[in-house]
Amino acid sequence: MRRRDPSRRRSAARQDRVLRASRSIVLSWDQGEMLACNFLTRQVTTCSTDLVEFLSRLQDWQRIDEIIRAFQGVTADALNALVNATLLVERGSETARREEEFLSAWNWGVPAAMLHFCLQDADFVPLEDAEQLQVAKSKQVQSPALHLPNRGRFDPVIPLKDQARDDNALTDVMARRRTVRECDEAAFVGQDAIADCLYAGLGITGWTSNCVGKLPLGMTPSGGARNPFEAYLFVKRVDGLAPGIYHYSAVEHSIGLVREAEIELSDLVAGQDWAETMSCAIVLCASLERTMWKYHDGNAYRVVLIEAGHIGQNIMLAATQAGLTACPTAALSHSRIRDAIGLERITDTPVYTLTIGVPQDQVHLAA
């Protein structure tokens, strides 16, 4: 039996492939150069008006051999380059699958999508580099004032009571909250303290109902009581818990083991070294579809981010009360977190992380 030439088989397969223009491309101009950004893949490619015209004529799936016949001068190699740049997508590919999921699941429009997808897995500037940049910048331009006085601007100015002399347990805890990045690398944190943090952030304290059903009410406010956040606990050293990943069920006030694992906390927060001194981390992940189900405009994306701040603050205060520090971190390794937890839906996303540890001392390292 004659064996087929594998390279011919491959090239035949190439001509069989079916492509169309990506549905997640946005155009912009930088110094006169047109740029095409695929916000789902975060790839940016220089673009010409001819290419835009070509893409606009490839809105429906077409076989490669048909495209080559229909467009003079277009080669298989050129099409492959456009597939690599994700300006074209191939039917059946992972890029096409994600795009289809985006088209069916995302109803907050392109501006919110660009903000959300383009800022995933952003590079983190290490603290030392950030300081050098600030020093260099301050030699060129002074920092804007970071607070505004009343005296000299308004009249009259009414002094308020002396908070320091107050006996107010709540504001006292609030005033003691600090981001401490140097923690005891051997210390275990108490399971009950972590329970307090989770409850303070996401605990359910009541129920209400509206025209379509029951809605949970929590420790923090939530737009439309849609409660988009779930918390995952990444454990290195917590009393009574094996290292691994746990899910907090607010409705049960329980944690469920997702899987045991050796946890590198810095892997969750874009490689920030200091996170390794922490004992555990609470990662807040939003199920955007919960909020999308009710709110159809992109402004609801802001609502979700604001809610993360409320939850984070409550977690930080509970940690402070327990003598711990909870460091807020927005520089996330989104993809790693998604893989570690097993978040698969395009609308499920890590938003905010609180790394929790036992402060070595109360020295506050300036950001």
Ligand X SMILES: Cc1cc2nc3c(=O)[nH]c(=O)nc-3n(C[C@H](O)[C@H](O)[C@H](O)COP(=O)(O)O)c2cc1C
**Rounded distance between C-alpha atoms, residue 326 and residue 181, angstroms:** 9
Compute how many residues bind ligand X; rule: CB under 6 A: 10
Q: Which of residues 321-350 bind ligand X (CB under 6 A)?
A: 328-331
By CB under 6 A, tell whether 360 contacts ligand X. Answer: no
Per the structure block, which two tokens stand in for 202?
């996401």
- CA-CA-CA-CA torsion sign (179, 181, 187, 192): positive
By CB under 6 A, tell whether 253 contacts ligand X. Answer: no
Instruction: Give the torsion through C-alpha atoms of 286, 288, 289, 295, to 10 deg.
Output: 130
By CB under 6 A, tell whether 305 contacts ligand X. Answer: no
Nearer to ligand X, 259 or 364 (CB): 364
Site string for ligand X, 77-106 (x = CB under 6 A): ------------------------------
**Rounded distance between C-alpha atoms, residue 211 and residue 214, angstroms:** 9
Helices 191-202 & 299-321 angle (0-180, nearest 10): 150
The beta strands (E) that lie in 261-359 are given as 280-287, 325-329, 348-357
- The distance of closest approach from Cβ of residue 331 to ligand X in the complex, given in angstroms and rounded to an integer, is 4
Stretch that binds ligand X, among 130-138, 160-168, 173-181, 212-220 (CB under 6 A): 173-181
Residue among 14, 178, 247, 310 that touches ligand X (CB under 6 A): 178
**Rounded distance between C-alpha atoms, residue 255 and residue 258, angstroms:** 9
CA angle 277, 348, 295 (to 5 degrees): 125
By CB under 6 A, tell whether 120 contacts ligand X. Answer: no
**Rounded distance between C-alpha atoms, residue 99 and residue 104, angstroms:** 9
- The distance of closest approach from Cβ of residue 156 to ligand X in the complex, given in angstroms and rounded to an integer, is 31
- The distance of closest approach from Cβ of residue 312 to ligand X in the complex, given in angstroms and rounded to an integer, is 7
- The distance of closest approach from Cβ of residue 319 to ligand X in the complex, given in angstroms and rounded to an integer, is 12
By CB under 6 A, tell whether 364 contacts ligand X. Answer: yes
Backbone phi, then psi, for 123, in 5-degree steps?
A: -65, 140
By CB under 6 A, tell whether 18 contacts ligand X. Answer: no
Site string for ligand X, 262-281 (x = CB under 6 A): ----------x---------
Contacts with ligand X, residue ranges (CB under 6 A): 178-179, 181, 272, 328-331, 364, 367
